[in-house]
Copies of this chain bind each other. A is one copy, B any other.
Amino acid sequence: MTSRESAISREETDLRLRQVRQALGRHGFTALLAYADCWRSSNIGVFTDFRPVDGVGEYAQGLLLIPIDDDPTLYVAAGARGWARAVFPYAVGQLSDLVDDVPRWRLTGAIGLAGAELVPGTLLEPLRDRLRPHATLQPTSLLSMVKAVKTPRQLALLRHAAALNDHGLEAVRCSMATGRPHTERDVARIAEAAMMNAGGDGVAYASMVQAGPRSSWNLALPTDRTIAAGDMVLTDIGARYRGVAADGGRGFTLGPVTDRQRDIVDASAAAVDAGLAAIHPGLSAADLNSVIQQVLVDRGYADHSGEAKGHGTGHGTGIDPEEEQPWIEPGNPTVLAGDMVFTLKATITVPGQGGVRTERIVRVTESGAEAFDQFPLRNHW
């Protein structure tokens, strides 16, 4: 029901199911329950093009049951079954029947729950009660590890999505070069429109554009503040393209730039450069994090960077802008492997001076890393 380019083949669906079943065996689970909602749909999107539709109701949710030795069942809202049946090659059930269906599953022992942190308590509690005493639900990260390694189809889509990010930033650069005034909202709109006109399906998350003093906040949405000469500008804008998401960040200065501003932009870029150079299969996420974190500390930003403080310097990305693995942070023993895709990021926010975030999308290759996004990291306009 979607283009050849984005459709998940029966072979890809079955590959992912096989990978999950092997992991279920290793973990001693009898089945996996994968929960997703329309905004964090990767726990289902890794198996099928079906995605819950935005809303507050049950149609914003989906659950995929994968018994270790039986066919899967995709539970969706009643109104979404027509579409789900057209794209998912196995059984499709109705979410409102989920809890009543439990006895029919005839499952015992430990059932792994993927996306436990997303499941509303109002759904989790009755489900857990209905499974007792024969079976228990146990949060598991096994699906996160399966999702972390992308398929060739996913890699091709992610490369294109990253190119859309580059295109959006280039449109911003060209528009700023006219010299006419731009507000933060203008910048977001220019980037988003360019990404969409180039074939994107919109944004992967609410765009952040923060200018002047607002750039010294880690996170904020754009306003009508006009970007002024001397401002630092933090942008964090990502394209959605055919079922994948591209998370990316760049900062820039406008007009006259102080040495300190130039150093903030360069240190943020240098930290990410160092991380990119350090990547190779076998490196742990924690060790990769140390490389980026150390650059930020060495450059003197220990007090003005969440990444320097150990809050993490990257995260998995793919179907969702943020996926659980590999999360590049202290203490994460996850070992980088070929075709894992994740972001590398370094945010520096200095009150009074402003700040920037550099964030790139990278793939682990046989011997190193490939960066998907190509827009320059050091921008002074």
Contact = CB atoms under 8 A, between A and B. Distances in A.
A145 interface: no
Interface string A203-221: 1011010000010111111
A287 B159 CA distance: 53
A80 B188 CA distance: 19
Contact of A206 (B54, B189, B218, B324): B54
Contacts of A197: 189, 193
Contacts of A221: 51, 53, 83
A82 B224 contact: no
A56 B322 contact: yes
Contacts of A306: 78-79
Interface stretch (A12-20, A116-124, A258-266, A359-367): A116-124
Given A83-B217, A322-B55, A202 B203 contact: yes
A56 B320 contact: yes
Interface string A101-128: 0000000000000001111111011000
Contact of A205 (B55, B119, B224): B55
Contact of A54 (B39, B51, B78, B80): B39
Given A219-B53, A322-B57, A224 B3 contact: yes
Contacts of A117: 56, 120, 122
A80 B218 contact: yes
B116 A119 contact: no
A192 interface: yes
Interface string A146-169: 000000000000000000000000
A178 interface: no
Nearest to A55: B322
Contacts of A3: 223-224
A1 interface: yes
A318 interface: no
Identify the 4 closest CB pairs spanning chains A and B, nearest first. Answer: A54-B205, A79-B218, A82-B217, A121-B121
Given A56-B320, A185-B201, 9 more contacts: A54-B205, A54-B206, A54-B321, A56-B323, A77-B219, A79-B218, A80-B217, A82-B218, A192-B202
26 contacts: A2-B223, A2-B224, A3-B224, A39-B39, A40-B56, A51-B221, A54-B206, A55-B205, A55-B321, A56-B117, A56-B118, A56-B322, A56-B323, A59-B219, A78-B306, A79-B218, A79-B306, A80-B219, A83-B217, A117-B120, A121-B121, A185-B201, A189-B196, A193-B196, A193-B197, A202-B202
